[in-house]
């Protein structure tokens, strides 16, 4: 079963579909899709790695650089005033997208990786003592493992890992058991980049909070696929990247509860994050500026806001329903291919289909598909411990986006049949 979001409490919060979903009209907004690769129309199914950008985002970037380019904050001239206004309007836009309580709870960072490092070093680090524990799940991306290893090593703390079952689902009973008196923080992926599993994060947060344990969520894959409400989730931190949400690369968001951000020391020092500096002492700025040292990626922030506008105009719920249909179609079709095994069959999943084919390395599979114009990802997907859990070095992964079509799913299935023929 795929795309079974009915069990996900967040889906219940999805807003009404704004208008009928017209995928062909959507595709006209993405100029990069209209090309051939190796003589075949491009079928781009590597959206979990990065998504393409609609013309509305490209225009926002162009408009900034051709009309308003200037550094933000403190500038008294017109261009700086306009750039600052657009930058802070984008922060308010993201606040609304997340349903955060205040814009000051929204920090701009380079991406999910930087957001997790910020929390690891500024929030967890000062609070950890020898023997304390950080709790992760067995399906984390390396970016939600390595930062915690670094801070645990420095503080002589320990990582504990919640196992997953053979379907690629978190074992909730084990999660509850591992939430112990030494647990200082939970950091968990919302939607697995390797399997597509949607974790029951609201339930997980409730269990952690009843023990006084704060929770961070890695929303890199979820933000473009699941309607978000950080206040309803009651998460302490939430991170996502712009480029996986149809926005520019090099920009991302960290949401944090104001009480945490105000208590945390800065992650980096430099301009804009201070209120005054002498050689003897520096007084830090208020949040969110305290965590945004140096000149930020102004154009990226503005482009990200345009991407959020685009996604919200379509409605995240409508996009999710469209991707669920594609995933269900693909899951049914590939099940009939001899020697193909789906890795990750969680009851609640979205957008991502990982698989292996008997006797064919995923890299070879991906190369043959590429020759047919079909772009998929092959590898461990930065989840080596998860691959080890399933006893495989890698998978091939098709990941869907708002511009993919049922016809492209059929092309993938035909391409996989060709792969079988090549390696027969």
CB atoms within 10 A of CB 65: 12
> What token pair was written down for 327?
């995933």
> Would you list the DSSP string of 200-260?
-HHHHHHHHHTTT--EEEE-TTTTTTS---HHHHT-SEEEEEGGGGTS-TT-EEEEE-HHH
Check if the beta carbon of residue 355 is closer than 8 Å to that of residue 420. Answer: no
pLDDT at position 158 is 97
CB atoms within 10 A of CB 286: 11
Residue written as tokens 């890795």?
343
The parts of the chain modelled with pLDDT lower than 70 are 1-19
Helix (H, G, I), strand (E, B) or coil at 167: coil
> Would you list the DSSP string of 331-362?
HHHHTTSTTEEES---SSB-SEEEEEETTB-H
CB atoms within 10 A of CB 413: 17
Instruction: Give bridge partners of residue 277 from the DSSP assignment.
Output: 282
CA distance linking residue 247 with residue 224, whole number of Å? 10
Instruction: Give 74's Cβ-side CA count (13 Å radius).
Output: 9
Residues 6+ apart with CB under 8 A from 361: 394
CA dihedral for 376, 410, 347, 253, sign (positive or negative): positive
- β pairing state of 377-379 and 395-399: antiparallel
Instruction: Give bridge partners of residue 383 from the DSSP assignment.
Output: none
382 is catalytic: yes
> What token pair was written down for 285?
């700025």
Q: Diameter of the chain by CA atoms?
A: 73
Peptide bond preceding 288 in cis form (omega within 30 of 0)? yes
Residues 6+ apart with CB under 8 A from 335: 342
Of 152, 235, 348, 382, the catalytic one is 382
- β pairing state of 237-241 and 252-256: antiparallel
Of 220, 222, 176, 230, give the one whose Cα is nearest residue 199. Answer: 222
Residue written as tokens 């006797």?
359
pLDDT at position 74 is 82
pLDDT at position 118 is 98
End-to-end Cα distance, the chain = 29
Read off the pTM: 0.94
CA distance linking residue 408 with residue 411, whole number of Å? 5
Query: Rounded to 5, what percent of the chain is helix, strand, coil?
Result: 45, 20, 40
Number of helices (H) and strands (E), helices first, in the chain?
16, 17
pLDDT at position 20 is 77
């Amino acid at each position: 079963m795929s795309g079974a979001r009915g069990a996900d409490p967040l889906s219940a919060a999805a807003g009404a579909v704004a208008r009928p979903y017209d995928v062909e009209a959507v595709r006209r907004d993405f100029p990069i899709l209209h090309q051939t690769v190796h003589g075949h129309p491009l079928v781009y199914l590597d959206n979990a790695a990065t998504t393409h950008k609609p013309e509305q985002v490209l225009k926002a970037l162009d408009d900034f650089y051709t009309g308003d380019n200037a550094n933000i904050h403190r500038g008294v001239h017109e261009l700086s005033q306009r750039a600052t206004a657009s930058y802070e309007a984008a922060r308010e836009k993201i606040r609304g997208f997340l349903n955060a309580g205040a814009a000051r709870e929204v920090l701009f960072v380079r991406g999910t990786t930087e957001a997790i490092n910020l929390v690891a070093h500024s929030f967890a680090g000062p609070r950890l003592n020898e023997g304390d524990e950080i709790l992760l799940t067995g399906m984390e991306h390396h970016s939600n493992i390595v930062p915690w290893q670094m801070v645990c090593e420095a503080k002589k703390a320990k990582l504990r890992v919640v196992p997953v079952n053979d379907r690629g689902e978190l074992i909730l009973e084990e999660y509850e058991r591992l939430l112990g008196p030494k647990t200082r923080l939970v950091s968990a992926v919302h939607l697995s980049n390797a399997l597509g599993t949607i974790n029951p994060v609201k339930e997980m947060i409730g269990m952690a909070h009843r023990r006084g344990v704060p929770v961070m969520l890695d929303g890199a894959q979820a933000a473009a696929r699941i309607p978000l409400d950080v206040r309803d989730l009651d998460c302490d931190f939430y991170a996502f990247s712009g480029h996986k949400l149809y926005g520019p690369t090099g920009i991302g968001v960290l949401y944090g509860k104001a009480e945490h951000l105000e208590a945390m020391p800065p992650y980096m020092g430099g301009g804009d994050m201070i209120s005054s500096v002498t050689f003897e002492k520096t007084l830090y700025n208020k949040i969110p500026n305290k965590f945004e040292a140096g000149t930020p990626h102004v154009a990226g922030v503005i482009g990200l806001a345009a991407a959020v506008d685009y996604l919200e105009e379509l409605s995240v719920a409508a996009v999710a329903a469209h991707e669920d249909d594609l995933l269900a179609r693909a899951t049914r079709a590939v099940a009939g291919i001899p020697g193909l095994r789906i890795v990750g069959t969680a009851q609640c999943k979205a957008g991502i289909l990982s698989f292996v084919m008997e006797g064919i390395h995923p890299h070879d599979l991906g190369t043959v598909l590429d020759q047919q114009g079909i772009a998929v990802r092959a590898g461990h997907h930065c989840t080596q411990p998860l691959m080890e859990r399933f006893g495989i070095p890698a998978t091939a992964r098709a990941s869907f986006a708002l511009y993919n079509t049922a016809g492209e799913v059929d092309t993938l299935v035909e391409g996989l049949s060709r792969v079988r023929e090549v390696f027969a």
